[in-house]
């Protein structure tokens, strides 16, 4: 049996595989190890539709002359999924939500489930956190996805009435508006930009910094809330807020390091304190590690003290640094 992947013949030795399913499972693992995913499968020049693949898996490899696969990188697949999500949103918001046909109800529910899953899986594949993608009103993609999931849970139990359709349409419009920013964050996080930083790339880096500055300023209040929750025994809520702070810090550090690399800048250039960027990053990392260790040992007094007197002031310095970098690249 001849095996072709992306129009090139591959050297594949059949060992214990007896069926098409056995071979595809082996090839799928090999493709995944190389950062890819299988898009289409053709047997003897006939493409097998997704819905028919299960019927073909038991087919003996002795009856197959040529197996052809088309693959793409997981990154490309995720971006393609975002484009598909955009089409689904247009179709549901533009057509099905206007319909009063009861038969369209299942299509609406199936569609919004696919939208939620498509965005969530793409974010995971692209290593993009939904908390950093915000609209003009400061509402994050994470919040919008939460609202969509709540509507899905509701409409799995009851019919979508007129008011519900309007609410769902608004959520879908909010998602649609954030998809371009989601793609830009994906490109940034996966380091696909030219380090010379041309027009559009510079524009989005400024947007990313402005969004992070806005999010970080709102995050300051979480420091006080973490301490209060620890004092009254709401450790779970405190930990969630701490996790949010940690994730935002991680994103800020990534973007600032990307900026230094793209502009070939020394870490001391824009620092107005006694600490360079690298030293600031290091102090944050050390402080958060101590907090994590204290959490594990249930030393909550130390956690509260470190957050208030060490991490919070550093966080304030980081916000100022983000602002200065944003001004610098304008």
Convert the pLDDT of each residue in 133-179 to its tens digit: 999 999 999 999 999 999 999 888 877 777 778 888 899 999 999 99
> With bands split at pLDDT 50, 70 and 90, how would you rate the model's confidence at 269?
low
Q: How many CB atoms lie within 10 A of CB 236?
A: 8
d(CA 314, CA 264) in angstroms, rounded, equals 24
Task: Assess contact for 88 and 111: CB atoms under 8 A.
Answer: yes
Angle, helices 162-189/141-155, rounded to nearest 10 degrees: 140
Share of the chain above pLDDT 90, in %: 28
For 211, residues 6+ apart whose C-beta sits below 8 A from its C-beta are 132, 133, 134
Q: Which residues pair with 60 in a beta bridge?
A: 19
d(CA 283, CA 289) in angstroms, rounded, equals 10
φ, ψ dihedrals at 72, nearest 5°: -145, 165
Q: How many CB atoms lie within 10 A of CB 11?
A: 5
Instruction: Count Cβ atoms within 10 A of the Cβ of residue 321 and give its class: 0-12 exposed, 13-18 middle, 19 or more buried.
Output: buried
pLDDT for res 128: 93
d(CA 10, CA 173) in angstroms, rounded, equals 45
> With bands split at pLDDT 50, 70 and 90, how would you rate the model's confidence at 251?
very high
Task: Assess contact for 300 and 292: CB atoms under 8 A.
Answer: no
For the ranges 7-16, 107-116, 174-183, 307-316, the maximum mean pLDDT occurs at 174-183
Residue recorded with tokens 């600032």: 256
Residue recorded with tokens 């949010």: 244
pTM for the model? 0.79
> With bands split at pLDDT 50, 70 and 90, how would you rate the model's confidence at 193?
very low
Q: Which helix (H) or strand (E) holds 47?
A: strand 46-47
d(CA 233, CA 213) in angstroms, rounded, equals 31
| Of 26-35, 104-113, 169-178, 274-283, the least confident | 274-283
Mean pLDDT of 198-215: 81
Q: 29-34 long-range contacts, Cβ below 8 Å, gap at least 24?
A: 31/5, 31/69, 31/71
| Of 10-19, 149-158, 245-254, 271-280, the least confident | 271-280
> With bands split at pLDDT 50, 70 and 90, how would you rate the model's confidence at 191?
low
> With bands split at pLDDT 50, 70 and 90, how would you rate the model's confidence at 202?
low
Secondary structure of the chain: what % helix, strand, coil (to 5)? 70, 10, 25
Residue recorded with tokens 């944003």: 326
Residue 271 has pLDDT above 70, yes or no: no
More confident residue, 187 or 175: 175
Instruction: Count Cβ atoms within 10 A of the Cβ of residue 289 and give its class: 0-12 exposed, 13-18 middle, 19 or more buried.
Output: exposed
Beta strand 66-73 with 36-43: parallel, antiparallel or unpaired? antiparallel
Residue 200 has pLDDT above 70, yes or no: no
Q: How many CB atoms lie within 10 A of CB 165?
A: 18
SS3 38: strand
Query: Considering the chain, what is the average pLDDT of its residues?
Result: 84
> With bands split at pLDDT 50, 70 and 90, how would you rate the model's confidence at 268?
low
d(CA 116, CA 92) in angstroms, rounded, equals 13
Eight-class DSSP state of 308: I
More confident residue, 14 or 124: 124
The overall longest dimension of the chain from CA atoms, in Å, is: 72
Residue 199 has pLDDT above 60, yes or no: no
pLDDT for res 252: 92
């Amino acid at each position: 049996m001849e095996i072709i992947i992306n129009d090139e013949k591959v050297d594949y030795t059949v060992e214990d595989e007896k069926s098409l399913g056995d071979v595809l499972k082996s090839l799928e693992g090999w493709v995944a190890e190389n950062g890819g995913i299988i898009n289409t499968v053709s047997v003897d020049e006939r493409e097998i539709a997704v819905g028919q693949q299960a019927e073909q898996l038991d087919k003996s490899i002795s009856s197959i002359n040529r197996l052809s696969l088309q693959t793409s990188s997981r990154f490309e697949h995720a971006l393609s999924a975002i484009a598909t999500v955009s089409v689904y949103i247009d179709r549901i918001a533009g057509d099905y939500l206007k319909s009063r046909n009861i038969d369209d109800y299942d299509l609406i529910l199936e569609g919004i489930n696919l939208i939620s899953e498509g965005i969530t899986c793409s974010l995971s594949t692209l290593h993009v956190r939904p908390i950093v993608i915000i609209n003009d009103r400061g509402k994050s993609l994470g919040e919008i996805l939460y609202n969509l999931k709540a509507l899905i849970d509701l409409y799995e139990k009851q019919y979508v009435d007129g008011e519900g359709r309007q609410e769902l349409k608004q959520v879908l419009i909010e998602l649609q508006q954030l998809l371009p920013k989601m793609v830009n964050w994906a490109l940034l996080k996966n380091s696909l930009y030219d380090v010379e930083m041309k027009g559009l790339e510079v524009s989005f880096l400024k947007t990313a910094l402005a969004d992070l500055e806005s999010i970080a300023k709102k995050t300051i209040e979480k420091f006080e809330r973490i301490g209060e929750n620890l004092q009254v025994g709401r450790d779970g809520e405190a930990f969630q807020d701490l996790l949010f702070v940690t994730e935002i810090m991680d994103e800020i550090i990534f973007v600032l390091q990307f900026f230094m690399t793209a502009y070939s800048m020394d870490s001391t250039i824009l620092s107005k304190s006694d600490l360079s960027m690298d030293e600031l990053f290091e102090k944050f990392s050390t402080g958060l590690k101590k907090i994590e260790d204290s959490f594990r040992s249930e030393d909550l007094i130390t956690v509260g003290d470190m957050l208030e007197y060490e991490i919070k002031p550093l966080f304030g310095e980081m916000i100022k640094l983000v602002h200065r970098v944003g001004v610098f690249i304008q």
